[in-house]
């Protein structure tokens, strides 16, 4: 990572490096956000900051103050007008050895600028992953730094023609993709798994649930997804991505999905034509 596109803070103090004793490294003791940048500004900023604060609160440490955080983000983005991805890692801070956290650690913040991934040409091709996501209500929904399940799931395939993998949870229910939430159109409604037992409460997912009248949470089994009228993945970097194929199952473009993409593009120009 070029230090040019990175800014690291200990509390509010700008520092040169991440401490080797950081609890983010030692235990994954922190949270992160991955944010689309469009026309120089972070998209869905308030939602990302709210999720970050909620995650830190559930882990038991204080999040960055939003106005201060935004000023640091703006400084990192200044002069970089090209579409970009901003990654924000916030950990409990650097501490000694042992799971117990000392009181009053200064949280570590790492901001980094990354190129926007190239667009996928056409609908996504998915596979089912073998790994099943463990049920852990204490951590479910959080975008925390304990991501070995996603790392192992993403390592299951190397075929470049497959864009993403869908994961089941330990109970056999559909959970999510490795780096996106999933919605299936069933009987005219857009349904997505709950994130009470595993998975991440995605910011794009929340936008769909809040802005699309026929979108809702539901339990989805693999057969529900395979028989769906249409299927899409979503995340905060890419917006809404139609699925064309999942294993042996294929979907033609669906007018309701095209309408949903247009609705998102009108609300957030970053995702226009995505």
CB-based contacts of 57-65 (< 8 A; 24+ apart in sequence): 58/142, 59/29, 59/30, 59/31, 59/92, 59/142, 59/144, 60/92, 60/101, 61/92, 61/93, 61/101, 61/105, 61/107, 62/107, 63/90, 63/107, 64/90, 64/107, 64/109
Q: Decide if 62 contacts 56 (C-beta within 8 A).
A: yes
Our finding on whether 21 is near a second copy (CB under 8 A) is yes
Q: Name the CA dihedral angle for 69, 33, 112, 145, rounded to a multiple of 10 degrees.
A: 120
Site for a second copy in 217-256 (CB under 8 A): none
* Residue of 11, 38, 112, 254 interacting with a second copy (CB under 8 A): 112
Minimum CB distance to a second copy smaller for 7 or for 186: 7
Minimum CB distance to a second copy smaller for 87 or for 254: 87
Minimum CB distance to a second copy smaller for 178 or for 192: 178
Our finding on whether 91 is near a second copy (CB under 8 A) is yes
* Residue of 64, 84, 150, 192 interacting with a second copy (CB under 8 A): 150
Our finding on whether 153 is near a second copy (CB under 8 A) is yes
Minimum CB distance to a second copy smaller for 169 or for 257: 169
Our finding on whether 18 is near a second copy (CB under 8 A) is yes
Measured in degrees and rounded to the nearest 5, phi and psi for residue 200 equal: -115, 135
3-state secondary structure of 206: helix
Minimum CB distance to a second copy smaller for 7 or for 218: 7
* Residue of 41, 106, 139, 162 interacting with a second copy (CB under 8 A): 139
User: How many Å is the Cα radius of gyration of the chain?
Assistant: 19
Query: Candidates 62-70, 149-157, 183-191, 227-235 — which segment interacts with a second copy by CB under 8 A?
Result: 149-157
* Residue of 80, 136, 250, 267 interacting with a second copy (CB under 8 A): 136
Our finding on whether 33 is near a second copy (CB under 8 A) is no
Our finding on whether 145 is near a second copy (CB under 8 A) is yes
């Amino acid at each position: 990572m070029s230090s040019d596109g990175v800014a690291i803070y200990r509390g509010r103090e700008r520092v040169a490096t991440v401490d080797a004793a950081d609890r983010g490294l030692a235990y994954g003791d922190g949270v992160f956000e991955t944010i689309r940048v469009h026309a120089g500004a972070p998209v869905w900023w308030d939602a990302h900051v709210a999720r970050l604060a909620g995650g830190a609160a559930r882990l038991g440490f204080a999040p960055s103050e939003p106005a201060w955080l935004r000023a640091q983000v703006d400084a990192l983005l200044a002069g970089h007008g090209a579409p970009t991805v901003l990654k924000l890692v916030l950990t409990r801070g650097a501490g000694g050895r042992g799971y117990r956290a000392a009181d009053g650690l200064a949280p570590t913040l790492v901001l980094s600028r990354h190129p926007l991934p190239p667009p996928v040409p056409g609908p996504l091709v998915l596979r089912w992953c073998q790994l099943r996501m463990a049920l852990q209500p204490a951590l479910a929904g959080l975008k925390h730094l304990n991501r070995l399940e996603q790392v192992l799931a993403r390592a299951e395939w190397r075929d470049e023609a497959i864009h993403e993998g869908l994961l089941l949870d330990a109970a056999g229910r559909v959970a999510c993709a490795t780096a996106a939430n999933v919605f299936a159109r069933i009987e005219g409604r857009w349904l997505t798994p709950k994130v009470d037992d595993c998975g991440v409460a995605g910011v794009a997912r929340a936008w769909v649930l809040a802005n699309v009248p026929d979108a809702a949470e539901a339990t989805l089994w693999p057969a529900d997804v395979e028989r769906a009228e249409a299927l899409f993945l979503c995340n905060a970097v890419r917006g809404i991505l139609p699925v064309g194929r999942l294993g042996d199952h294929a979907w033609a473009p669906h007018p309701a999905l095209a309408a949903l993409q247009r609705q998102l593009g009108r609300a957030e120009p970053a995702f226009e034509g995505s």
